Structure 1
Amino acid sequence: MLQRIGVIGGGTMGRGIAACFALHGFSVNLAEPSAAQRATIRSEVADGFRLLVDENFVDADTAVTAFDRIALFEALAPAVQDRDFIVEAAPEKMELKQALLAEIDGLAPADAIFATNTSSLPLAPMVAALPEARQVRTLVTHWYNPPLLMPLVEISAFGNMPSDLLEEVVTLHRQIGKRVAKVAKDVPGLIANRIQQAIAREVFSLIEQGVADAVDIDTALKFGPAFRYATTGQLEVSDFGGLDIWLTVGDNLLAVMDASKQASALLRRKVAEGKLGVKSGEGFYQYDPTSTSSVRRAFLGRLITQLKASRTYP
């Protein structure tokens, strides 16, 4: 049974993953070499737990206990030496992840299972330099951001790991309330990001064509397809609607929809202009710098509302 968790990297994803495991009763060692980054971790984790308390998702005592389960480290060795499940959450750079996994391999117990939090890098070259015994104990666990609130974790089932070990990892994530999607083939983006990019491509195209403004496009998505998608997957929706109907509509629409093989030109222009969204004050919408915190807080509050509701879904 996997009980002692190690997380490598204290950025947005790493600290969120650590917080989620701690919230569900697991001992967590979190390693972050940057002193500046390390100095922000405890306050950021505390803010995340405080939000859960404010939204009546957990009680204050649970949050305090969870916070105390996270131990911070600068060095790798003490953070991983007694861990049985270690999540690498470093930036998406192949060489960095290869070197980091090799270093952890020399420090962690031989029977520890390694996980890399990636959706854009292939697993095989990432672990190619590891001993064979470690390669079969390494997999992808791709968390969605923010990790503390988003239920999805995509787990690689590429055939390199024995089925009993894979099921142990799946069980671990279900114990912390995650909805697991097993990915049978190592494709760029795995499942969720590919679906998300397909939607984004058409949304960016519609606004670029002047079909509607940002508010109306988002309204159509939130209260149309996304309203169903919150509880019902696309394949289920297709079955309910009738596959014959979906076939006809697909033949009618797909030929006239965006089929770009690169990011939207509109998106590229906005980035070039420094219009990056909430963090810059303008993206597709404008944001008053004095209200940025409340905008983010409202967004996270909506996610918690959905998270509460999702616990009743099959």
Structure 2
Amino acid sequence: MIKNVTIIGSGVMGSGIAQSFAIHGYSVVLNDLTEEYLIRAENRIKENLELLVEEGVLTSTGKQKAVQAITYKTDLSEAIQAADFIIEAIPEVIEMKWDLYRKIENLKKADTIVASNTSTFPITKLVEHASFAQKMVITHFFNPGHLVPLVEIVKHEQTEGEVIEATLELMRSIGKSPVLLNKEISGFIANRLQTALMREAFFLLKEGIASAEDIDTAITAGPGFRWAFTGPIEIADFGGLDTWQRVFENVAPDLDQSITAPEVITDLVAENKLGTKIGEGIFKYEASTVSEKLNERDRYFIQLGKIKNKGEMTR
């Protein structure tokens, strides 16, 4: 039975994942290289929890229990010695991940499950320098990890069936909606779908079909509005497969077929205009505006989560 969870890496994703487990009663250790990183993560978690209290999702008592459920450690051995489940959420540098796996293989318990939050690397690549392939999976959380329900689970051909089932059940126990990939594929499911959409969005922007604001609105007020509750496969059924056959035949030939990053993105990256982290990307941002927008986004996600949860309970 999984009771103790360790998250290695206390960045935005790692801290959000730690918070998800703490809220649902698990004993959590959050590990990182320095006290400075961990203090920053602790402050972020407390702010996130307070927002949940303000939105009526969590009580003050629940917030306090979640805060107390998380221990912060810089010592890797201490962090994982009692762990039943470890999630690696360190930067997407394969050498760093391999080095970490080599370190933990002699420190963890023999039956501990090890998961990676990678969104980049296939599990066959991850296990090249790990001796515990049978106990390893990918658990790809989506940002913000404490609010978005999706977790994509990828198994290795050596991963034990019991490990897969335990991982699925663990994710469900913290309110997530896990999906299991039957085959390994780059980008998994959601990022492949997102990339296809983003490619076309930036093509429309480059061609001057509409402004960036209007392209975004076309999604948030249209497909995105219904995608929260109805996926693309079911939408095809609802719309009629004969109708969608004609849509594909009429529209697909004119869609962008690029296999490289959109020119708009490439040009802005070359100018170091990286988005909110810099203060300018497609749009320009003031520092205070970014914080306000993130706070507003999270409130919307919380409200959407409440609606979805209510709907699932009444089905």
For the criterion TM > 0.5, the same-fold answer is yes
User: In the alignment, what sits opposite 2:31?
Assistant: 31
Q: Deviations over 1:65-96 (max 9, x none)?
A: 10111011111101101111011111111111
CA displacement at 1:276 relative to structure 2: 2.4
* Match 2:215 to one of 214, 217, 235: 217
User: In the alignment, what sits opposite 1:181?
Assistant: 179
Q: Which amino acid aligns with 2:144?
A: P
User: In the alignment, what sits opposite 1:150?
Assistant: 148
Q: Which runs of 5+ in 2 are unaligned?
A: none
After TM superposition, the structure 1 stretch with the greater mean CA deviation from structure 2, 273-282 or 103-112, is 273-282
Q: Deviations over 1:186-208 (max 9, x none)?
A: 11111111111111110111011
Q: Deviations over 1:232-290 (max 9, x none)?
A: 01000011111121111111111111111011001111222333222333322232333
CA displacement at 1:296 relative to structure 2: 1.6
User: In the alignment, what sits opposite 2:202?
Assistant: 204
CA displacement at 1:39 relative to structure 2: 2.6
User: In the alignment, what sits opposite 1:256?
Assistant: 254
Q: Which amino acid aligns with 1:81?
A: Q
Separation in structure 1 between the aligned mates of residue 157 and residue 221 of structure 2, nearest angstrom: 39
Q: Which amino acid aligns with 1:261?
A: I
Separation in structure 2 between the aligned mates of residue 93 and residue 289 of structure 1, nearest angstrom: 28
Shift in CA distance, 159/310, structure 1 to aligned 2, threshold 3 Å: farther
2:131 pairs with 1:118: no
8 Å Cα contact 1:8/1:87 also seen in 2: yes
Separation in structure 2 between the aligned mates of residue 271 and residue 51 of structure 1, nearest angstrom: 33
CA displacement at 1:48 relative to structure 2: 0.9
2:192 pairs with 1:194: yes
8 Å Cα contact 1:32/1:38 also seen in 2: yes
8 Å Cα contact 2:147/2:301 also seen in 1: yes
2:12 pairs with 1:12: yes
* Secondary structure, counterpart of 1:108 in structure 2: coil
Separation in structure 2 between the aligned mates of residue 129 and residue 33 of structure 1, nearest angstrom: 21
* Match 2:271 to one of 265, 270, 273: 273
Runs of 4+ in structure 1 off by over 3 angstroms are none
CA displacement at 1:294 relative to structure 2: 1.5
User: In the alignment, what sits opposite 2:296?
Assistant: 298
Separation in structure 1 between the aligned mates of residue 60 and residue 72 of structure 2, nearest angstrom: 22
Separation in structure 1 between the aligned mates of residue 4 and residue 298 of structure 2, nearest angstrom: 28
After TM superposition, the structure 1 stretch with the greater mean CA deviation from structure 2, 212-221 or 289-298, is 289-298
Separation in structure 1 between the aligned mates of residue 260 and residue 168 of structure 2, nearest angstrom: 34
CA displacement at 1:158 relative to structure 2: 4.2
After TM superposition, the structure 1 stretch with the greater mean CA deviation from structure 2, 34-43 or 170-179, is 34-43
User: In the alignment, what sits opposite 1:161?
Assistant: 159
8 Å Cα contact 1:138/1:161 also seen in 2: yes
8 Å Cα contact 1:158/1:185 also seen in 2: no
Separation in structure 1 between the aligned mates of residue 219 and residue 129 of structure 2, nearest angstrom: 44
* Match 1:227 to one of 225, 228, 249: 225
TM-score (normalised: structure 2): 0.95
User: In the alignment, what sits opposite 2:58?
Assistant: 58
CA displacement at 1:227 relative to structure 2: 1.2
Separation in structure 2 between the aligned mates of residue 296 and residue 15 of structure 1, nearest angstrom: 16
Q: Which amino acid aligns with 1:50?
A: E
Shift in CA distance, 39/231, structure 1 to aligned 2, threshold 3 Å: same
Separation in structure 2 between the aligned mates of residue 62 and residue 251 of structure 1, nearest angstrom: 53
8 Å Cα contact 1:122/1:188 also seen in 2: yes
Output the aligned Cα RMSD. Answer: 1.4
CA displacement at 1:38 relative to structure 2: 2.0
Separation in structure 1 between the aligned mates of residue 128 and residue 267 of structure 2, nearest angstrom: 39
Separation in structure 2 between the aligned mates of residue 79 and residue 158 of structure 1, nearest angstrom: 25
Q: Which runs of 5+ in 1 are unaligned?
A: none
User: In the alignment, what sits opposite 1:68?
Assistant: 68
